[in-house]
C-alpha cells in the first residue's frame, strides 16, 4: 500500500508541478472566454464616422433617413436586437454577430451639397471625384419617384467592406421609405406598430415530473459539458500512454518491477494521473461556479442567468463521478496500448480506436439532447465506453430515475474492473519486451499466460 501511494504521489507531482499544467489549466477557460469576448472587442473599436452625402430629389426621404441614423435611434434598435438574440438561441452565429455589433457601428456625418440643376450623371461624377480625394466616404442617390417600378437607391461607398455601416444604412433607409409610404397612404406609424407587433413565444420543455424547465440554453450547456469531458479524457489518456511508454522506452520498468508489484505500479499510475485530471477539472468547475455566483449578484445579468439550465450540486457530483468512470475506462485502454508499443509515435497510431469510440460517444450526446428519454438515450447512457460521455448530458437535460444512474455506474464499474485486469496482464509482460511492437496474437497470449 505504501508503494502504491508512492507511485500515486510520483505520478501526480510529475504532472501538477509542471508549468504546462498551470498554463493548460488557465488556458482552457481563457480560450473559452476569448472566443466570446475577443470578436466583440475587435468590433467595438470604433472607426471614423462615415461622411455621407444624401442626394434627395424628393425632399422627404432624406430627413427621415437622417433621423433614423441618429445615435439615439441606432442605440434603441441595437438594444431591441440584443434582447431578441438572447431569446433566440437558434439564431445563427452570423445573425447574432450582426445584431450584436450593429450597436457598435460608427456614427454618420452628413455632408451637405448643393445639387440643384445638375443631372444624376454630373452628380455621380462629382461625388466619385470627391470620394476619391477623401472628402467624403459614401453617397446615396435617392430616386425622384420612390414608388416607380425601376426606382433604385444607389449607395456608393469607399468602405464597401464595412458591412455594419452598410446594413445600418440599408435598415434605416428601408424604415424611412416605409414610413414615407405609410404617410402617403394616410396610416399613422403608431397604428402600424400595433399591427406588426410579434407574438411572445415562450418555449419550455416539460420534465417527466410535469415541471417546466427552460430548454433554451440546454444545447449550449450540454455541448460545453460534452466537450469538457471529451477533451479531458483524450488529454489524460494520452498522458497515461506517454508515461507508460517512457518507462518502457527508458527501461525504467525493469527497476520498478524489481521494487513493486506491476499491478500497484500500473494502478498507481492511473490513480495519480487521474487525480491530476480531477484537480484540473475541479479548478475549472470551481471557477465556473464562482463566475456564476458573481454574475448572479449583478442585477443586469438576471435575465441571462434565468436562461441557464438549473445545475444542482448533485448534478456536479454526478459529473465528477462520470469523469472518473470515463477516465478509468479509457486510461486502462491507453495504458494497455502503451505497454504494447515501443515509442510514443507508435502509440499515437494505436490511440486512434479509443479516440474514435470517444468521438462516437460524444456524437451520441447530440441524440441524447434531442430526446433524453428515448430508448437510444437509455442504452447509450448505461453502456460502457459511451456512458461517461452521454450520461452527464442526459442528467443535464433531464434527470433520469436514480436506478438508471445506479445501473449505469454499476455496469461501467464492472467494465473498468475488466479493463484494468486486462491492461495489467498486458502491462506486466509488455513492459519487459523490448525492441519490437507486440502483435495482437502475442498480446492475447500474454493475457492468457500472465
Partner 1 sequence: MSELATTLRVDHITKRFGDFTAVEDLSFELKAGRVFGFLGPNGAGKTTTIRMIVGITAPDEGRIELFGETMSSKLQDRIGYLPEERGLYKKMKIVDQLRYFAALKNVPANVAEKRIDRWLERLGLGAWKDKKTTDLSKGMQQKIQFISTVLHDPDLLILDEPFSGLDPVNVEFMIEVLSEFRDQHKTLIFSTHLMETAERLCHDIILINKSRKVVGGSLREVKASYGKNLIALRVTGGDAVLNDRAIVARVDEHADEMYVELTDGVDPQLLLKRLIDSGAHISKFEQVEPTLNDIFIELVGGSEAETPVLAGGAHAA
Site residues for partner 1 per CB under 8 A? 2-3, 6-7, 9-10, 13-14, 246, 249-252, 254-261, 432, 434, 445
Which candidate, 371, 365, 414, 370, places its Cα nearest to that of 386?
A: 365
Q: Output the smallest distance, CB 27 to partner 1, in A.
A: 21
Q: Cell triple for residue 390?
A: 452521454
CA atoms of 230 and 364, how far apart (whole Å): 12
State CA 255 to chain mean position distance.
Answer: 46
167 vs 249 by CB, closer to partner 1: 249
Q: Output the smallest distance, CB 425 to partner 1, in A.
A: 13
CA atoms of 127 and 438, how far apart (whole Å): 78
Q: Output the smallest distance, CB 3 to partner 1, in A.
A: 6
Q: Output the smallest distance, CB 269 to partner 1, in A.
A: 12
Q: Give the list of residues 6+ apart from residue 389 with CB closer than 8 angstroms, or none.
A: 226, 229, 230, 233, 326, 358, 361, 362, 364, 365
Q: Output the smallest distance, CB 84 to partner 1, in A.
A: 54
CA atoms of 151 and 156, how far apart (whole Å): 16
89 vs 256 by CB, closer to partner 1: 256
Q: How many CB atoms lie within 10 A of CB 364?
A: 22
Q: Output the smallest distance, CB 352 to partner 1, in A.
A: 26
Q: Output the smallest distance, CB 248 to partner 1, in A.
A: 10
CA atoms of 277 and 21, how far apart (whole Å): 10
Q: Cell triple for residue 11?
A: 505520478
**Cα distances (Å, whole numbers) of residue 47 to 77, 162, 296, 382, 411:** 20, 10, 34, 55, 60
7 vs 336 by CB, closer to partner 1: 7
Q: Are 106 and 48 in contact (CB under 8 A)?
A: yes
Q: Cell triple for residue 437?
A: 511492437
**Cα distances (Å, whole numbers) of residue 113 to 56, 141, 260, 448:** 10, 12, 91, 93
140 vs 245 by CB, closer to partner 1: 245
265 vs 415 by CB, closer to partner 1: 265
193 vs 448 by CB, closer to partner 1: 448
23 vs 76 by CB, closer to partner 1: 23
18 vs 46 by CB, closer to partner 1: 18
361 vs 430 by CB, closer to partner 1: 430
CA dihedral 289, 292, 294, 298 (to 10 degrees): -170
Could you identify the residue written with the cell 438594444? 79
CA angle, 233 then 347 then 229, to 5°: 5
CA atoms of 174 and 312, how far apart (whole Å): 48
Q: Cell triple for residue 231?
A: 477533451
Q: Output the smallest distance, CB 420 to partner 1, in A.
A: 19
Q: Output the smallest distance, CB 4 to partner 1, in A.
A: 10
285 vs 447 by CB, closer to partner 1: 447
Question: Helix count (H) and strand count (E) of the chain?
Answer: 19, 6
Antiparallel, parallel or unpaired: β 205-206 and 154-157: unpaired
Q: Output the smallest distance, CB 261 to partner 1, in A.
A: 5
Amino acid at each position: 500500500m505504501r508503494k502504491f501511494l508512492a507511485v500515486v504521489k510520483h505520478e501526480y507531482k510529475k504532472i501538477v508541478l509542471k508549468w504546462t499544467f498551470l498554463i493548460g489549466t488557465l488556458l482552457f477557460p481563457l480560450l473559452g472566454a476569448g472566443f466570446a469576448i475577443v470578436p466583440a472587442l475587435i468590433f467595438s473599436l470604433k472607426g471614423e464616422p462615415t461622411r455621407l452625402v444624401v442626394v434627395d430629389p424628393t425632399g422627404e426621404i432624406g430627413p427621415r433617413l437622417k433621423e433614423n441614423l441618429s445615435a439615439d435611434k441606432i442605440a434603441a434598435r441595437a438594444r431591441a436586437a440584443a434582447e431578441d438574440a438572447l431569446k433566440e438561441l437558434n439564431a445563427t452565429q452570423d445573425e447574432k454577430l450582426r445584431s450584436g455589433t450593429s450597436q457598435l457601428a460608427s456614427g454618420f456625418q452628413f455632408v451637405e451639397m448643393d445639387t440643384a440643376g445638375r443631372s444624376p450623371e454630373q452628380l455621380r461624377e462629382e461625388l466619385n471625384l470627391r470620394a476619391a480625394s477623401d472628402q467624403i466616404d459614401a453617397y446615396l442617390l435617392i430616386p425622384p419617384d420612390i414608388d416607380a417600378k425601376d426606382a433604385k437607391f444607389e449607395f456608393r461607398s469607399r468602405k464597401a467592406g464595412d458591412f455594419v455601416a452598410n446594413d445600418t444604412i440599408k435598415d434605416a433607409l428601408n424604415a424611412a421609405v416605409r414610413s414615407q409610404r405609410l404617410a402617403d397612404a394616410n396610416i399613422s406609424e403608431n397604428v402600424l406598430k400595433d399591427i406588426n407587433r410579434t407574438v411572445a413565444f415562450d418555449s419550455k420543455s416539460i420534465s417527466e415530473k410535469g415541471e417546466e424547465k427552460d430548454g433554451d440554453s440546454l444545447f449550449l450547456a450540454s455541448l460545453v459539458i460534452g466537450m469538457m469531458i471529451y477533451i479531458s479524457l483524450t488529454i489524460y489518456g494520452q498522458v497515461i500512454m506517454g508515461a507508460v511508454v517512457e518507462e518502457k522506452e527508458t527501461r525504467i520498468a525493469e527497476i520498478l518491477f524489481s521494487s513493486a508489484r506491476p499491478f500497484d505500479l500500473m494502478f498507481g499510475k492511473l490513480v495519480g494521473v487521474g487525480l491530476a485530471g480531477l484537480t484540473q477539472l475541479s479548478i475549472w468547475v470551481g471557477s465556473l461556479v464562482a463566475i456564476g455566483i458573481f454574475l448572479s449578484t449583478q442585477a443586469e445579468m438576471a435575465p441571462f442567468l434565468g436562461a441557464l439550465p438549473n445545475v444542482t450540486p448533485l448534478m456536479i457530483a454526478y459529473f465528477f463521478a462520470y469523469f472518473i468512470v470515463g477516465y478509468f475506462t479509457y486510461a486502462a485502454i491507453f495504458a494497455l496500448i502503451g505497454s504494447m508499443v515501443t515509442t510514443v509515435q507508435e502509440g499515437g497510431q494505436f490511440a486512434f480506436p479509443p479516440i474514435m469510440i470517444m468521438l462516437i460517444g460524444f456524437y451520441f450526446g447530440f441524440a441524447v439532447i434531442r430526446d433524453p428519454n428515448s430508448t437510444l438515450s437509455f442504452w447509450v447512457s448505461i453502456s460502457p465506453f459511451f456512458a461517461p460521455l452521454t450520461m452527464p448530458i442526459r442528467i443535464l437535460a433531464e434527470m433520469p430515475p436514480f436506478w438508471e444512474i445506479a445501473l449505469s455506474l454499476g455496469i461501467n464499474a464492472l467494465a473498468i474492473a475488466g479493463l484494468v485486469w486486462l491492461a495489467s496482464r498486458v502491462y506486466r509482460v509488455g513492459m519487459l519486451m523490448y525492441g519490437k511492437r507486440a502483435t495482437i496474437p502475442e498480446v492475447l497470449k500474454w493475457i492468457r499466460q500472465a
